[in-house]
A and B are shown apart, each in its own frame.
Chain A
Amino acid sequence: MNGATARRDLLAGGLLALIGAGVVVDARGHAIGTLGHMQAGYFPLLLGILLIVLGVLTSLSGLIAEESESAADHPLDLRGCAAIILSVVAFVLLGEYAGLLPATFLSALIAAAGDRKMSVTGALVLAATLSLMAALLFSYALNMPLPLVRL
């Protein structure tokens, strides 16, 4: 038995069961009906229960599994993840309030800052290139309705 795998699978199963429970709660807000005459809630209810069962099984499987699956082998990179998430958030906020060009430029800079080997010059060149592309390709050629700069 592998402690880390067991813990991870316990968590994984718990998450599944939680989602399943949420689905069940939502399904119960609708008419269920019968098997011969299903209403809106029937199928989601079925899936929710199924997901709970699968969640429990997943939690249990962690107790007997020995090998660790590959997906979680990679280390969590906080800086990179934060940069990527913030970059998209910045794109949405700046796109809404400042326009396409500032949104593209800044979100590209933020995303680039996530990589530890990125140089400042490299990031600036990248952001400028992408901004140019945003203006020429998306704004000019594809006529996207997001204004380049919102004043």
Chain B
Amino acid sequence: MLATALNDLWHGFGVAFEPQNLMWCFVGVLFGNIVGVLPGMGVLAAISVLLPLTFAMKPVGAILMLAGIYYGAQYGGAICSILLNLPCHPPHAVTCLDGYPMTKQGKGATALGITMLSSFVGASFGIVEMIFFAPVLVGFALHFGPEDICALMLLGLLAGSTLSKGSPLKGIAMTVLGLILGIVGSDPNSGEQRLTLGIPQLADGIEIVALALGLFGIAEFLKSVNNVPTLNVRGTQVRLRDMRPSRAELKRAAPAMVRGTLIGSLCALIPGTGPTIASFVAYASEKNLSRNKADFGRGEVRGVAAPEAATHASVQGDFIPTFSLGIPGDSVMALLLGALIVQGIQPGPQLITEHPDIFWGLIASFWIGNILLIVMNVPLIGIWVKMLAIPYRYLYPSALFFICMGVYGVSNDLFLVCETLAIGIGGYMLLRLGFHPAPILLGFVLGPRFEENFRRAMLLSRGDLNVFIESPISATFLGLAVLLVTAQVVLHLRRRPRQGHAPRVLRSPALPACETVPPTQI
């Protein structure tokens, strides 16, 4: 099996090194890196803006580029945290705790160097994990019946909605709303128009680009306008030769990197626990393991290395359930799956065998992309620092323009721009009411497939719901789902008096509140 995997990987490198694919991979990581640096810009918005462009591309190039944006942005996100103490991108929020003190001690460049090294180690391990785990999962998933797929989707949806930010109840509500939005349009069996409000353009369903750009573009701008501080980067200088960590620092950081990587790759396997949770867990365990806990928060190298390695391992690992089972772990993955579906490719366990070019080409491109990122970030770090200072007042009108053009370009129809605006206003209302709209996308992408499999399962069992418990696979997934919800409820009830929610560390006085900068919500 190892031999076939290596053989397939070799084939993947062949695909990824095709000049066109190489170019798209580069465009993706570059764009992602820039977006990661820019304050107030989210990964989801970035992917959605480029999504219409991919409709005209070949599937392999499209996926390589969109994936590149995602992991490229992770490299950029850390810069803001370390140099300016602003947790603009949630997975890197915890990096502030020790990254910024290092900057104050004049070792900001070293912190960035360590970050890049940790990122590369974490990402590499995540890729290896994907190479070996994805085919195993696929072999397992090929035996799934419709009831098993349903149960798995249910588990994925519950995990994605309850483990993300905010109250689990509201997360589930958003997922259900997403499922509802997903079935707008013609019923696949009878062709009846459902929930279209009589608007003919909605007969084909809600356009995923409109939904994503409405929720993560327009709604975020409505929230952030006049609320994003312009950053002062004067006096922040990063010199290239300072980035190389000393041997002593490397020796301290290396074990932390390995531990962070392991935590990140474990988190990747649990659906719904994305990079943000991984980085927090990695930091907390690193601190607990340390003999001198007091060093943490004062510029401890390990406090930078562990969470960054965990983030990147988890980011790469996130692709495993998405591409082997067709179940996205979070909204970024949901968007990637949406892009695949637009290309006419059905996600699911058959993807790897039917489209080996996409799967293995993607894996190979991860490595190429990560190396490109390292090579690119070292000389360009000075430019990134300058870009941090671009005021939001120039960013959002430009982004708004690209959103309008991108959405219009999907079908050359201005109606779609109106649809995006309406979704954006709705999304902002939800934000104000204390919802986090990210799970909507998860439900939206899975909605039609969930209904299809549910209907098929019930048809086959003649309406007997017991089939979900009688199938051992489905029963396992449902058991896990129940366990997950119970754990959430218990934690929620126990947490309330103390407010000890992990990501809320961010709002401790040690860090300036960055709630005004729109979080990426991954």
Contact = CB atoms under 8 A, between A and B. Distances in A.
B322 to A, nearest CB: 24
B292 interface: no
Given A8-B433, A67-B499, A84-B400, A146 B408 contact: yes
B396 A74 contact: no
A29 to B, nearest CB: 9
Contact of A115 (B225, B404, B436, B459): B225
Contacts of B230: 117
A31 B496 CA distance: 45
Contacts of B424: 88
A80 B176 contact: no
Contacts of A104: 401
A87 B397 contact: yes
A72 to B, nearest CB: 5
B190, B391, B424, B433 pick with most chain A CB within 10 angstroms: B433
Interface in A35-68: 35-44, 47-48, 50-51, 54-55, 57-58, 61, 65-68
A40 B462 CA distance: 17
B463 A34 contact: yes
Contacts of B431: 71-72
A85 to B, nearest CB: 7
Interface residues of A, number: 80
Contacts of B507: 70
B397 A71 contact: no
Contact of A48 (B180, B192, B391): B180
A7 to B, nearest CB: 10
A121 B472 CA distance: 67
Contact of A71 (B177, B192, B436, B499): B436
A74 B516 CA distance: 7
A84 B405 contact: no
B145 interface: no
A40 B176 contact: no
Contacts of B491: none
B455 to A, nearest CB: 5
Contacts of A73: 515
B433 A112 contact: no
A70 B189 CA distance: 42
B176 A54 contact: yes
A38 B455 contact: yes
Interface stretch (B215-223, B234-242, B354-362): B215-223
A33 to B, nearest CB: 9
Interface string B229-256: 0100000000000000000000000000
A96 B192 contact: no
B471 interface: no
Contacts of B223: 74
A38 B458 contact: yes
A12 B170 contact: yes
B517 to A, nearest CB: 10
Given A54-B169, A85-B421, A71 B432 contact: yes
Interface in A118-144: 118, 122, 126-127, 130, 133-134, 138, 142, 144
A27 B193 CA distance: 10
A80 B417 contact: no
Contact of A51 (B180, B461, B463): B180
Contacts of B429: 15
Given A15-B433, A23-B180, A30-B192, A126 B516 contact: no
Interface of B: 165-167, 169-170, 172-173, 176-177, 179-180, 183, 187, 189-190, 192, 194-195, 218, 221-227, 230, 391-394, 396-398, 400-401, 404-405, 408-409, 412, 414, 417-418, 420-421, 424-425, 428-429, 431-436, 451, 454-455, 458-459, 461-465, 496, 499, 507, 515-516
17 contacts: A8-B433, A36-B458, A40-B187, A43-B455, A69-B167, A71-B166, A72-B431, A72-B432, A74-B227, A74-B515, A80-B222, A81-B225, A92-B414, A111-B397, A114-B226, A117-B230, A138-B405
The 3 A-B residue pairs whose C-beta atoms are closest, nearest first, are A36-B463, A80-B225, A115-B393
